[in-house]
Amino acid sequence: MTADPRADVNRRAAELFATIDDYEEQGFIAAIDALAAELPAEDPDGLFHRACARDSWGHSDQAIPLYRTALDIGGLTGENRRRAVIQMASSMRNTGQARAALDLLTAERDRGSDHLDDALGCVSALCLASLGREREGLSLVLVALARHLPRYNRSMANYARALVAD
C-alpha cells in the first residue's frame, strides 16, 4: 500500500516547525518550500505550509495570499483548514485588516468547536483590540483562560461576561 504523500508532508512539516528556532529565516523557509514542492504546485497543504513558514518569520503580507489560495481551491481539511483561517486572520490584522479578520473569525467560530477554539478567541481578542474594543477582547481572553485554571473557572467566566454586559 502506498503512503499518502500529503500526510507524510504534513508530518514532516510539523517536525520542521518543532525545530524552527534551530534555523535562520531563509534556511527554514527554503526547507518548508522544498517539502511543499514534493506535492503538486497547487496542493492546499503545500500552500498552507509555505504560508505558515512566512508567517512564522513575520511576513504576513506574503502569507495571506498563500493561505487564501489554499482555502479557496478546496481540499484543505481538518486542523490545517482551521489553522489556515485563524492564522490568515492574524496576518490580516497585522496588515491593517482587523475588521475583515474579525468577520472571518466570527464565521469560523460559527462553523463549530474544537481544540483550536482558544486560539481563535485570542486572535479575535487581538482584532477587537485593534478596533478599539478592548473590553470585548479581554472578555474573550478571560473566557479562554478560565477553562485552563485549576480554580476560579466559574468566577473568571462570570467576570468575563460581565465586562461586556449591558
The predicted-structure confidence for 47-70, as pLDDT tens digits, reads as follows 999 999 999 999 999 999 999 999
pLDDT at 1: 47
Residues of the chain with CATH 1.25.40: 1-76
Grid coordinates 503512503 are at which residue? Answer: 3
pTM, 2 dp: 0.92
Region 112-141: mean pLDDT is 96
Q: How far apart are CA 91 and CA 142, in angstroms?
A: 23
Residue 68 CB coordination number (10 Å): 16
> What mean pLDDT is reported for the chain?
95
**Helix, strand or coil, per DSSP, at residue 164:** coil
Read off the pLDDT of residues 128-144 as tens digits, 9 standing for 90 and up.
999 999 999 999 999 99
Give the Cβ contact number of residue 118 at 10 Å.
15
Domain with residues 1-76, CATH architecture: Alpha Horseshoe (1.25)
C-alpha cell at 82: 482551521
DSSP for residue 74 = S
